[in-house]
């Protein structure tokens, strides 16, 4: 008879690929949690507790305050929480007294702890790297690159068929010439020939990059910015810009030129940084 205190221990070898896959599943699950509003239906506050309104459909969403009173609803339908607001929003001000049902509120301390934990999980394996840019620019040589890497990624941007996507400057690709050069540039070649080999990133973990060069004394020119195709909408460019300014252009009197801004989103980033760093000169040429 086997003693109940004796257990069979099974050692499972997990490959690096499997770990990365599980990491992706966890991150996806966490992002799904972030997309929902954290609401506790079993939360029962007491007078003096700090609460936050977590109902996105309420005009007082985001209001924080201290519980001043609790009143029962008729028919044992729950309680109404009365709280005095301590922050400022579009529809509320500090000192306002609001009344909400419990399902619209959550404990403020728990919300902060959950969000801090989630951000910590999402940022595991995320790092910035300083590299030499493999791209050639007519404006300058020796262009540097600030890259954002997710070290849990082991494969390039792939198509459903399993082949690498045509993701410019992330996946390497071969250009082909179909017409002649010089005087014969309008004549189609009988057989296409290889043209320029466009380089990809130095590591598949790179999900976004910012190429730049020094433009003068404490001045910088942003040559190009790009986000990996399957990582768009995750604020990669915003994180790169924030990190770039922290590292290079945070001192008063700094000068940053965003170059030819081909997309409206880049214009918004330029405006954001100009507002955030009022003692610096932040400009860009609008081409959108």
Q: In the prediction, which pLDDT does 57 show? A: 85
Query: For residues 101 and 79, what is the distance between their CA atoms, to the nearest angstrom?
Result: 6
* pLDDT at 3 > cutoff 80: no
* Residue 162 region by backbone torsions, left for phi larger than 0, else alpha for psi between -120 and 50, else beta: left
| Range 205-229 average pLDDT | 95
Q: Tens digits of per-residue pLDDT, 89-118?
A: 989 999 999 999 988 888 887 656 666 666
- Region at 21 (left for phi over 0; alpha for psi -120 to 50; beta for the rest): alpha
Mind listing the pLDDT tens digit for each residue in 234-279?
899 999 999 999 999 999 999 999 999 999 999 999 999 999 999 9
Per-residue model confidence as pLDDT tens digits over 37-60: 444 445 578 899 899 888 888 999
Structure tokens at 170: 């992330």
- Which residues have CB under 8 Å from 27's CB, separation 6+? 121, 122, 152
Structure tokens at 123: 């940022």
* Torsion on CA atoms 228, 231, 233, 236, rounded to nearest 10: -70
Indicate the pairing of strand 219-227 with strand 255-261. parallel
Q: Enter the pTM of the model.
A: 0.59
pLDDT at residue 117 in the model:
66
Which residues does 279 contact at the CB level (< 8 Å), separation at least 6?
252, 253
- In this predicted model, what pLDDT tens digit does every residue of 127-153 receive, in sequence order? 999 999 999 998 899 999 999 999 888
Of 198, 269, 214, 212, which Cα lies nearest the Cα of 239?
A: 269
Please, are residues 260 and 285 in contact by the beta-carbon 8 Å criterion? yes
What is residue 260's predicted lDDT score, i.e. its pLDDT?
92
Query: Who contacts 258 (Cβ-Cβ below 8 Å, separation ≥6)?
Result: 222, 266, 269, 270, 282, 283, 284, 285
């Amino acid at each position: 008879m086997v003693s109940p205190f004796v257990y069979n221990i099974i050692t499972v070898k997990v490959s690096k690929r499997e770990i990365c896959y599980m990491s992706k599943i966890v991150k996806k699950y966490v992002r799904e949690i972030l997309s929902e509003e954290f609401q506790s239906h079993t939360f029962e506050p007491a007078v003096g507790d700090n609460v936050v309104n977590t109902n996105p459909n309420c005009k007082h969403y985001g209001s924080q305050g201290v519980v001043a009173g609790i009143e029962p609803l008729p028919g044992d339908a729950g309680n109404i929480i009365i709280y005095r607001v301590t922050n400022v929003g579009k529809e509320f001000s500090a000192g306002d007294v609001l009344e909400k049902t419990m399902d619209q509120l959550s404990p403020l301390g728990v919300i902060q702890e959950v969000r801090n934990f989630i951000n910590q999980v999402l940022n595991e394996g995320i790092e910035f790297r300083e590299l030499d840019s493999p791209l050639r620019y007519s404006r300058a040589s020796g262009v540097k690159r600030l890259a954002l890497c997710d070290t849990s990624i082991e494969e390039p941007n792939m198509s459903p068929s399993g082949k690498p996507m045509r993701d410019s400057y992330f996946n390497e690709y071969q250009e082909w010439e179909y017409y002649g050069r010089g005087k014969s540039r309008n004549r189609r070649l009988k057989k296409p020939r290889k043209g320029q080999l466009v380089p990809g990133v130095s590591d598949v973990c790179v999900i976004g990059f910012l190429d730049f060069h020094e433009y003068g004394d404490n001045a910088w020119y942003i040559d190009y910015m790009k986000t990996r195709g399957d990582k768009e909408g995750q604020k990669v460019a915003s994180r790169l810009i924030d990190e770039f300014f922290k590292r290079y252009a945070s001192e008063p009197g700094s000068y940053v030129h965003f170059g030819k801004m081909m997309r409206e989103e880049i214009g918004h980033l330029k405006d954001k940084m100009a507002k955030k760093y009022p003692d610096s000169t932040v400009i860009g040429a609008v081409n959108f």
